[in-house]
Homo-oligomer: A and B are copies of this chain.
Amino acid sequence: MKNTIFILKEGTPKYKQIYEQFKSFIERGDILPDNPLPSIRQLADSLQVSRNTTLMAYEQLVAEGYIRGEGRKGYFVNELEPVLFQNTVIPPHKKHKETVTPVQIDFRAGSVDQTNFPLEIWRRISNKVLTLRESFRYGEPFGEVCLREQIAAYLFQSRGVKTEPDAIIIGSSTQQMLIHLGQILKDEFTGIIIEDPGYDGAMEAFRFHRFTIETLPVYETGANFSKLEKLRSRLIYVTPSHQSPLGVSMSIQQRQLLIHWAKNKNGFIIEDDYDSEFRYTQQPFPALASIDSTRVIYLGNFSKSFLPGIRLSYMVLPQLVLNRYKNQFLHFESTSSLLSQLTMAKFMEEGEWNRHIKRMRLVYKRKMQCLVSELKEHFKQSTSIIGEQSGLYVLVKVHLNRSEEWLIERASIYGVKVYPTSIYFIKNHPGEAIIKLGFSNLTCDEIQRGVKLLKEAWGC
C-alpha cells in the first residue's frame, strides 16, 4: 500500500468515508491484490477513530468482496474482475446504495432516558431564568452560589457528605475538573494511581499533566488493595460506589483502608461518584468523603442523572486543596453555562431534582431488570453478566472464544451497536471478550429486540 492520505470530513459517517476511500484505492490499483491492509487497531489509531469505525468499514468491504479477512493474519485485498472497474469515476447518483445494515438498536451507555425527562418543568424554569438580570453577566469563577448551596444540601442528604457551599467548585465535566485539579497537584504529586480497568477519560486527563501512572488491579469482586503498599504514588483516583466499568462497590473495610492509606502517606483520594444515584438492590454505600473529608476530593456530575449535554459537574475540595485551587483559578472564568447553573439551582430548590432522581431510579431499575432477564434467557451459559446491581449499563463476558472486535462487528451486521471494554484495561485484561451494553435511552421492547438480534449475530 502506497503512502496514501486519508482526509476524514465531518458530516458523513467516518466508517463510510474509510470504506469509500479503500474502495477507490483498490479500484484504482493503489493497493494490489493479496496485499495486507493495516490492522483494525493501526488504522483506528492513525485516523483517530474508534476501532469500531474501522471495523465497520472493513466489514463493508468484506461484504462487497473487495477484501477478505484471514483470521489473526488480518485483512487482504481480493483480486478484482477488471471489467467491473473500467469506469472508475461513477456519477454520484448512480453509486449503489450503502448496504451496511443501519443501526436499529444502539446499546450506547452515554445517553439518558428521554421519555421521562421533566421537559415542562425544566422549560418553565429556564424560560424564567432568561428574564433575570443576573443571567446577562459573566458567572462566578467557581460557580454560582445558589447552585453550590443546593449541591451541598443534596450531598449531605444523599451521600452523607458534609460540606460548605464555599468548598464546592462547579465545572463543566469530570475531565475539565481533573485538568484543573491536576494543575494544583502536579507539583507535589508527580504520579497517580488509577484503577485497571478504569475510566479512560480520567486517565487522559492525568496524562494531560504527564503524571506517572501506576495501576491498581480491579476484578469483579473488587480491587486488590494489597498491591497499594507497593506503589509509590500518594494520589489515587477511584470510583468507589460503582467501579467504572466493573460495577463493583468498595466495602466499608476497603474504604477505611484507603482513607488510612491516604492519611499515612499524606496523600489524596480523588473519589469519582459519577452515578451513585442509581443503585437498585441496596442502599448506596456512604461516600469516602463522608468518612473523612480531609483527604478526599469528591467529584460528582449531572451527566448520568440528568443530561450529559448540560455539562455540569462539581467537586468538593478539602481545605488544603481548596485554598490552592482558589489561588490558582481566581482569575479564570467558569467554563459552565450560567443559565444552566441558575436553572439547575431552581430545579433543585423546588424539589424537582429529588423527584427526578426517584423516578429515574425506578425507570432504570425496570430497564436493567429487563436487559438482565433477556440476556439470561437467550444466552444462558454463554455469557456472564457483570454489574447488574447499579448504574446504566452492564458488562457481558462472552464465553464464545471470540474477540471483542468480532463480537462488535457481527452485532453491527445485524443492526445492533454494542461497545468495547478493552479501552478501559491497561494490563489487567482477563483475556475473554467483554462487551458493554448501555440501556438508558432504550425501551424494554428495544432491549428485547436488541438481545434477540445479538443472539443471532453471535450464533449462540
Q: Is A460 in contact with chain B by the CB < 8 A criterion? A: no
A318 at the interface (CB under 8 A from B): no
Query: Are B311 and A335 in contact (CB-based, < 8 A)?
Result: yes
- Select from chain B the residue with minimum beta-carbon distance to A133: B114
Q: Quick check: B130 and A119 within 8 Å, CB to CB?
A: yes
Contact A137 B335 (CB under 8 A): no
Q: Which residue of B lies closest to A174 (CB)?
A: B333
Q: Known contacts A122-B130, A130-B122, A201-B333: does B309 contact A339 (CB below 8 Å)?
A: yes
Residues of chain B contacted by A201 (CB below 8 angstroms): 331-333
Is the C-beta of A239 less than 8 angstroms from some C-beta in chain B? Answer: no
How many interface residues does A have (CB within 8 Å)? 60
Select A173's contact among B307, B327, B333, beta carbons within 8 Å.
B333
Whole-angstrom distance between the alpha carbons of A332 and B164 in the complex? 30
Closest to A200 in B: B331
- Please indicate the chain B residues that have their CB under 8 angstroms from the CB of A308 in the complex: 136-139, 338
Closest B residue, CB atoms, query A209 = B183
CB-contact partner of A337 in B148, B166, B311, B441, under 8 A: B311
Determine whether the beta carbon of A108 is less than 8 Å from that of B137.
yes
Chain B residues in 8 Å Cβ range of A136: 111-114, 117, 307-309, 441
Are B311 and A336 closer than 8 Å at their CB atoms?
A: yes
- Is A412 in the interface zone, CB < 8 Å from B? no
**Taking CB as reference atom, which chain B residue is nearest A335?**
B172
Q: Contacts of A337 on B, CB cut-off 8 Å?
A: 172, 309-311, 336-337, 340
Residues of A that sit less than 8 Å from B by CB: 9-11, 48, 108, 110-114, 117, 119, 122-123, 126-127, 130-131, 133, 135-139, 145, 148, 164-166, 172-173, 175-176, 179, 183, 200-201, 204-205, 208, 303, 307-311, 326-327, 330-340, 441
